[in-house]
Amino acid sequence: MKQGRFVVIEGLEGAGKTTAIQTVQQWLQEQGHPLVQTREPGGTPLAEQIRTLVKSVQQERVSPVTELLLMYAARAQLLDNVIRPALERGDWVLADRHDLSSRAYQGGGRQIPDEVLDPIRQLVLADLRPDLTLYLDIDPVIGLERARARGELDRIEQEQLGFFQRARAKYLAIASSEPNIVVIDAAKPLADVQQQLRQALEQHFA
C-alpha cells in the first residue's frame, strides 16, 4: 500500500494561504498523488459547526480556554473522520491550517502556556504530526491590511495588532526548532512565493 503524506499550509491572516494551497495542490497532482483537502477548524459537518461558533462575533466574551477547547474538539473530529482514514488509505492530505495554528494563536496570541496546551495536544494528536508544514510568514500589519481589503473580518481577525504579533513570534519560534516546518517569505511577489513553495516540496519529498 502506498504511504500517505500530510502537508499543512499555515500563516496569519492575509498571508496568501488560499493561493499557496492552489500551488501546492497543483504540484501534488502533477506528481500523481491521490489528494484529500481539509481545513481547520472545520472539514466535517460537526467541525464546520464548531468553526461557525469560533469565528462568529459573540454577545459575551469568549474565554481563551473555551476557544482552545473548541479548536481541539473540531480537530479531533477531523482527524478521526477524515485525516487518519485518508493517510491509512495512502492518500496525501493537504490541510489549510492544523495544530500549529493553535500553538501560535491560542498559545502565542492568547498566551496560554505550553503546560496547558501540551496535554490537550497529546490527547487529540497522539503520534500524528504533519510530514511538512509550509508557514507563510508576513508582517501582521501587511497581512491585516490585505484581510481588511477582502471584506468583513471575523471575530479572531478583529483582534488587536499585538495578538497577531505574538502569534507570529510563536510561529517563528516553533519553526526554528522543528525541521519539518519551512518558513516561506509571503511578502515577496506571487511568483517568488510559488517558487519557494515548489522548492520546499521538491526538497522534502524528493
pLDDT digits (tens, 9 = 90+) for 96-115: 999 999 999 999 999 999 99
Instruction: Tell me: pLDDT of 205 over 90.
Output: yes
- Does the domain at 6-205 match CATH 3.90.420.10? Answer given as no
Measure the CA–CA gap between 151 and 158, rounded to whole angstroms: 12
pLDDT digits (tens, 9 = 90+) for 67-103: 999 999 999 999 999 999 999 999 999 999 999 999 9
Residue 131 is which amino acid? D
Task: Please state the rounded mean pLDDT for residues 128-147.
Answer: 95
Per-domain residue ranges of the chain:
6-205
The pLDDT mean for the chain works out to 96
Residue 153's pLDDT is what? 87
- The helix or strand, by DSSP H or E, that contains position 167, with its residue range, turns out to be helix 161-175
Task: Please state the rounded mean pLDDT for residues 112-139.
Answer: 97
With a CB cutoff of 8 Å and minimum separation 6, the contacts of 41 are: 47, 50, 51, 54, 55, 70, 71, 74, 75, 97
